[in-house]
Amino acid sequence: MEPYGDDWLYSGSASERLWNKSAIGKKITNNQLILSAAEVIFCHNHRHLNWPYENWLKEEISKNPNLINESIIIEALRVPGNKLMLAKFIENKSKTPHHKDTWGVRWNSSNHPRKDIPESEVRWFHSSDLIDCKNLLLWAIKVSQEGRKAEVLIVDDEQAVVTYNLTVEEPKGELLPPSNQILETISKYRKTIIDNGKIFFHYENVWPCEQIGIDYDDGRIVDEISYELIKEKEENFSLQTSVFYDLLMRGLHPRPGFKYGTLWRCYEQKIGTDHAPWLVVNPSNKPINWETACLASRLASGVNKIWLQPLRISNEWKYLGIVRPPANSRWTNPIKK
């Protein structure tokens, strides 16, 4: 094995088998493969290849501090049998188009890059990395347009890996959104300011919009966001109220999501008919890291809900979902002792 730019050229007897069976590296000729340093580590640990030379690993780690984590991600994907091509090795982008931010393209165990279409595009992060939600949403949109899954793998300080799917969600409900006339009618009701900026509306007969406020005795408690919706014009809405309005226009019923650590839980039907499928976080949240996002997504999955981050794209609200995949698609590395 010899250096090949930042990568390594392997001309050993196993080169054809490594490509034909496992799609490892980039094939140049029948007996030559280009391997990334992380792939060299995988082949050493799982395909019985020798190190290029003594002290190779120590030298490569000093050049690339992320090398160990990258090799762990490759191991998590390949040990279950997946085929993985690093994006930097894909030259024929007309045959295998992929997003510029994609790190690798994955095929399932029964398929191969030479003849089959890929199943997903992959990115990986460390658990301490901050999340650029807008970047991830735009990436997920493009990947889904190619008919692929957008997969992210997260490695932590224990070198354990977890997998999440990024989805572009379009939450929809069956409820009738409040009209401007209804909002104007509510604004004329007698009201009293109560604790924490909430408003108590006094009304007779029937409250005109079930999605706004919470019943209490002979009145309705309305929070600051709902009150802003009632008294302000759309162009003056805060971020939270703008998202709340968008959810209402989608036919949903947002309710406080405090018990789930989010701003809202959203029902698609009348409350009591079914559970709330979505948990929507505050659009004003500061950047979070993957430790926080993984905890939130796991909590949402545990109560059969999808965790959503609202993002304004081209003056429209889009919703990024961070979803735990099915058990047979949760790529993780072998348990470390």
Q: What whole-number distance in Å separates Cα of residue 308 and Cα of residue 169?
A: 8
Domain hosting 17: range is 1-65
pTM for the model stands at 0.88
- Convert the pLDDT of each residue in 97-137 to its tens digit: 888 999 999 999 999 998 899 999 999 999 999 999 999 99
pLDDT for res 93: 67
Judge residue 121's burial from the number of C-beta atoms within 10 Å of its C-beta, 0-12 exposed, 13-18 middle, 19 or more buried: buried
Provide CB contacts within 8 A for 305, sequence distance 6+.
260, 265, 275, 276, 277, 278, 279
Query: Looking at the domain assignment, is residue 8 inside a domain?
Result: yes
Q: Other C-beta atoms within 10 Å of 304: how many? A: 9
Q: Hey, what's the torsion of the CAs at 75, 157, 330, 146, to 10 degrees? A: -80
Q: What whole-number distance in Å separates Cα of residue 91 and Cα of residue 171?
A: 37
- Convert the pLDDT of each residue in 141-182 to its tens digit: 999 999 999 999 999 999 999 999 999 999 999 999 999 999
**DSSP structure string for 74-123:** HHHHHTTT-EEEEGGG---TTTS---TT--EEEE-TT--TTTS--SEEEE
Query: Looking at the domain assignment, is residue 223 inside a domain?
Result: yes
* 3-state SS class at 232: coil
Sheet holding 316-323, edge to edge: 83-86, 104-107, 120-126, 149-155, 161-169, 316-323, 306-313, 278-280, 264-267, 253-256
Q: What is the mean pLDDT of the chain?
A: 91
Query: Looking at the domain assignment, is residue 220 inside a domain?
Result: yes
Query: Looking at the domain assignment, is residue 202 inside a domain?
Result: yes
- Convert the pLDDT of each residue in 300-309 to its tens digit: 888 889 999 9
* Last-in-domain residue among 242, 257, 279: 242
Query: Looking at the domain assignment, is residue 43 inside a domain?
Result: yes
* 3-state SS class at 211: coil
Q: Count of domains in the chain?
A: 2
Query: Looking at the domain assignment, is residue 11 inside a domain?
Result: yes
Query: Looking at the domain assignment, is residue 164 inside a domain?
Result: no
* Last-in-domain residue among 208, 242, 276: 242
* Last-in-domain residue among 242, 258, 288: 242
**311 touches 317 (CB < 8 A):** yes
Query: Looking at the domain assignment, is residue 56 inside a domain?
Result: yes
Which residue type does 313 have?
Answer: I
Average pLDDT over residues 38-59: 93
